[in-house]
């Protein structure tokens, strides 16, 4: 069944003056306009496309990639407003994403960016967005586990860190004392679940834990040294601030990574400088 808001692999069923008609396994068709068609396309070919509603409420296909799809949160910019709501830059040339006034938990202003969640309206089938995130993000039934690698979206600044959206499903927190690089609202990052508390709080770290963390940090440190001409002016006596600035690591992780690389014979230390062996 063709639905707006997701990527689909469809088959070219026929060619018209307006573009290619693509069909799903049930034979339902959608138009891929000529601007996305190449001369080599022919009936029977498969195309990976994104499907959405155009301004006349017709399903249409594109080979462009929007900034987010149904079921995802994103940090998007308001490009226009009217009495019914706001319109966001969705990353599709011919289509902005609509946020009805009823979906705005705060007054949205043109030119500003907001964290929103995309969903498919049950009545119209159209893709819309909402700033009322608690209707979609919840920790009532947690589906991640400690030490799991997860995708996160930085959503809001807190007194002691940042609130993040975990895997587009849950709320998590990264505390300032776990941050060794600058992050900003709207950043999409990979993180690790460091702890899940009894009351359902998910603590997130940007670094792995245990030996996996050491190996990952060692690999990153080696790349940093190589990218700096094979030398890095850091050592065990460097301050935590210096280490964080140059490597994005805590001093503890840096020392472990340094020790691991030296034990493997991949780096050496001379006159307070790390040198690629």
Are the C-beta atoms of residues 186 and 128 closer than 8 Å to each other? no
Count of all residues that appear for the chain in the document: 277
Cα dist. 86→56, 157, 209 in Å?
18, 24, 42
Q: Which pLDDT value is given to residue 269?
A: 87
pLDDT at 248 over 80: yes
Looking at the chain, the whole-number percentage of residues with pLDDT higher than 70 is 99
Q: What number is the average pLDDT over the span 53-73?
A: 95
What domains are there in the chain, each with its CATH number? 6-62 (2.40.50.330), 73-134 (2.40.50.140), 149-205 (2.40.50.140), 211-276 (1.10.10.10)
Lowest mean pLDDT among 61-65, 108-112, 174-178: 174-178
Distant-in-sequence, close-in-space partners of 73: CB < 8 Å, separation ≥ 6? 115, 116, 117, 118, 133, 136, 137, 153, 155, 165, 168
Residue 211's pLDDT band (cuts 50, 70, 90):
low
Instruction: At 198, give phi and psi (nearest 5°).
Output: -65, -30
User: 213: alpha, beta or left, given left = phi > 0 and alpha = psi -120 to 50?
Assistant: alpha
Q: What's the chain's average pLDDT?
A: 93
């Amino acid at each position: 069944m063709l639905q707006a808001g997701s990527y689909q692999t469809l088959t070219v069923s026929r060619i018209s003056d307006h573009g290619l008609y693509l069909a799903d396994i049930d034979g339902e068709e959608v138009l891929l306009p000529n601007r996305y068609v190449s001369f080599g396309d022919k009936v029977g070919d498969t195309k990976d496309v994104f499907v959405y509603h155009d301004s006349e409420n017709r399903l249409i296909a594109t080979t462009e990639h929007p900034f987010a799809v149904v079921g995802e949160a994103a940090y998007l910019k308001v490009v226009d407003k009217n009495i019914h709501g706001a319109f966001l830059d969705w990353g599709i040339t011919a289509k902005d994403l609509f946020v009805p006034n009823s979906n705005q938990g705060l007054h949205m202003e043109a030119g500003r960016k907001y964290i929103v969640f995309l969903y498919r309206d049950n009545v119209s089938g159209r893709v819309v967005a909402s700033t009322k995130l608690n209707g979609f993000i919840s920790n009532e039934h947690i589906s991640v586990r400690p030490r799991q690698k997860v995708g996160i979206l930085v959503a809001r600044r807190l007194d002691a860190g940042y609130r993040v959206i975990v895997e587009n499903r849950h709320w998590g927190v990264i505390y300032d004392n776990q941050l060794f690089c600058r992050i900003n609202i709207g950043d999409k990052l990979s993180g690790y679940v460091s702890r899940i508390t009894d009351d359902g709080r998910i603590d997130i770290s940007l670094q792995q834990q245990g030996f996996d963390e050491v190996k990952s940090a060692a690999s990153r440190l080696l790349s940093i040294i190589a990218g700096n001409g094979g030398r890095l002016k850091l050592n065990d006596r460097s301050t935590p601030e210096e280490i964080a600035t140059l490597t994005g690591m805590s001093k503890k992780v840096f020392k472990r990574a340094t020790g691991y690389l030296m034990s493997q014979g991949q780096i050496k230390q001379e006159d307070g400088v790390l040198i690629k062996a």
